[in-house]
């Protein structure tokens, strides 16, 4: 910086007054010149600083814009696909022959990778099963006799099932195709593959993720872990986590001979790596019995990912076997997988009816208006897994009682068939009333309706919508005759400020 220093006065003499005046004038000119130079230098330095700052800001903006653009491009191109997933299915030579038909409903041999793990080779008749090409390959698990198992009355096969994680990683981590996720379930776990892949697209497979859901019963969670992913509903490990877990798995499970199931061992070992559960309500353990209608018709706005224990509940469609009912459900899944069980609620002002559409499954009509918050809790059509009462009868979700008299319950219409128009993409699903021997008012009762037709478009949410899902709206279409026996309903996205409420 410039320093302005005072110049000492020269000693004057009476004979040199003119010289003193001249020197004083020169000194003042010199000081003024130095001040001007300093000001100009300061302005120059400030201008350089300003230009550099602007350039840096523009550079940061460019970098941020490029990063945002690349992130957006990545989000569009990095959707998880089915062939990014490896499935590990825990089974046995005893259960596989009776459960493979369920796996055949959802397995796509051309697109999927994985293995069914059994304790020993299948019999020759099972090996020669004529539809084996439609199923995942069967793999014989490694010997686990060296591991201790001390759960009294339990099944030491739990160790073998737990080690499916290790064995699946050993088989597929060197695959030429990219593996992003390892998914594990039982041989009676029914997956919805498209929904599974779309759900996993919300997550970064290069980070450590342990994804799934727990039991519907409070007591089950208390015994095994409120933050444990139950194996029957299925659980997911990101490939980055699975590879690290596999390297340490055997040494870990040696510390847990006292645990009951395979999923408990996986949970314990994941915890030792410092990883917690990422809860996804689309995975269903289904620790209930009886009529599951109440749970299915109150499904989360998240996509349905899995169903378990279907053989332990009543067939989900009337006049059907358990297997044929699940196969019938898949006729809707194939048309619009992400919409299956998604609930839309609308109101008939003319008759004061509340109408609930659980797409691909049922339409229910209450003969009265109900607030939305009173519609959403699960109707207790089911019963707990065990009859011991206490906490074994306490659910982990909201429920509402149903009337003892079936004629006082909502009128239920079950899905008959689903079709899609190639022209405009409209999907039509038809629902027929389940017969109950009830007397009713032919003018005002919803029992006068025999058939309901629901029109929609294929549900295809992006990642943003999957992370923050919103329930869709429905309308009773004007084509529905006020005096007829057919009702038509349209499902659509709700408008930005639209509310789902009872209209006066």
pLDDT value, residue 108: 97
pLDDT value, residue 503: 82
Question: For the CA atoms of the chain, what is the radius of gyration?
Answer: 35
Is residue 71's pLDDT more than 60? no
Angle between helix axes 262-272 and 239-253 (nearest 10 degrees) is 110
Q: What is the pTM of this model?
A: 0.84
- Region of poorest pLDDT, from 77-86, 129-138, 299-308: 77-86
Is residue 390's pLDDT more than 70? yes
- The answer to whether residues 338 and 195 touch, using CB atoms and an 8 Å cutoff, is yes
Is residue 262's pLDDT more than 60? yes
pLDDT tens profile 192-207: 999 999 999 999 999 9
pLDDT value, residue 31: 64
pLDDT value, residue 484: 79
Over residues 27-38, the mean pLDDT reads 62
Over residues 204-215, the mean pLDDT reads 97
| Average pLDDT of the residues of the chain | 89
Helix (H) or strand (E) segment spanning residue 17: helix 17-77
pLDDT value, residue 495: 96
pLDDT value, residue 239: 97
Cα(136)–Cα(82) distance, integer angstroms: 14
From residue 54, alpha-carbon distances to 42, 58, 448 in Å are 18, 6, 74
Angle at the Cα of 315 (from 476 to 410), degrees rounded to 5? 35
Cα(333)–Cα(360) distance, integer angstroms: 8
pLDDT tens profile 218-238: 999 999 999 999 999 999 999
pLDDT value, residue 206: 96
Helix (H) or strand (E) segment spanning residue 272: helix 262-272
Confidence category of residue 13, pLDDT binned at 50, 70, 90? very low
pLDDT value, residue 21: 42
pLDDT tens profile 326-374: 999 999 999 999 999 999 999 999 899 999 999 999 999 999 999 999 9
pLDDT value, residue 381: 96
């Amino acid at each position: 910086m410039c320093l302005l220093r005072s110049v000492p006065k020269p000693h004057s003499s009476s004979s040199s007054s003119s010289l003193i005046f001249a020197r004083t004038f020169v000194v003042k000119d010199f000081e003024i010149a130095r001040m001007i130079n300093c000001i100009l230098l300061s302005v120059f330095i400030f201008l350089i600083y300003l230009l550099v700052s602007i350039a840096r800001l523009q550079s940061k903006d460019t970098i941020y814009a490029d990063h945002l653009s690349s992130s957006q491009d990545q989000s569009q191109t990095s959707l998880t696909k089915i062939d990014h997933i490896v499935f590990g299915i825990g089974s046995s030579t005893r259960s596989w022959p009776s459960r493979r038909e369920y796996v055949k409903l959802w397995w796509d041999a051309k697109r999927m990778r994985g293995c069914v793990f059994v304790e020993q080779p299948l019999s020759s008749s099972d090996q020669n099963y004529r539809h084996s090409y439609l199923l995942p390959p069967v793999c014989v698990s490694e010997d686990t006799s060296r591991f201790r198992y001390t759960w009294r009355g339990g099944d030491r096969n739990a160790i073998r099932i737990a080690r499916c994680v290790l064995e699946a990683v050993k088989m597929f981590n060197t695959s030429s195709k990219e593996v992003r996720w390892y998914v594990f379930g039982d041989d009676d776990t029914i997956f919805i593959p498209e929904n599974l892949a779309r759900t996993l697209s919300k997550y970064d497979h290069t980070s450590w993720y342990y994804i799934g859901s727990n039991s519907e019963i409070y007591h089950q969670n208390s015994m095994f872990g409120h933050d444990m992913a139950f194996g029957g509903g299925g659980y997911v490990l990101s490939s980055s986590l699975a590879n690290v877990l596999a390297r340490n798995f055997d040494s870990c499970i040696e510390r847990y001979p006292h645990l009951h199931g395979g999923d408990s061992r996986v949970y314990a070992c994941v915890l030792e790596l410092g990883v917690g559960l990422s809860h996804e309500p689309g995975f269903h353990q289904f620790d209930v019995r009886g009529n599951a209608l109440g749970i299915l018709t109150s499904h989360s706005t998240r996509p349905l990912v899995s169903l378990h224990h279907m053989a332990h509940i009543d067939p989900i469609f009337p006049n059907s076997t358990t297997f044929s009912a699940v196969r019938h459900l898949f006729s809707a899944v194939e048309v619009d997988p992400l919409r299956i069980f998604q609930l839309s609620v609308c109101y008939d002002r003319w008759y004061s009816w509340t109408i609930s559409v659980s797409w691909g499954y049922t339409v229910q009509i209450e003969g009265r208006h109900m607030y939305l918050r009173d519609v959403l809790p699960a109707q207790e059509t089911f019963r707990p897994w065990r009859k011991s009462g206490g906490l074994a009868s306490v659910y982990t979700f909201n429920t509402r009682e149903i009337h003892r008299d079936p004629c006082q319950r909502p009128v239920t219409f079950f899905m008959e068939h689903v079709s899609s128009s190639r022209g405009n993409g409209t999907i039509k699903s038809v629902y027929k009333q389940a017969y109950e021997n009830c007397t009713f008012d032919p003018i005002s009762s919803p029992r006068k309706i025999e058939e309901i037709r629901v029109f929609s478009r294929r549900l295809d949410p992006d990642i943003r919508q999957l992370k923050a899902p919103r329930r869709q709206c429905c309308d009773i279409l004007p084509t529905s005759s006020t005096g007829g026996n057919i009702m038509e309903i349209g499902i659509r996205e709700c408008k930005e400020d639209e509310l789902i409420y009872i209209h006066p």
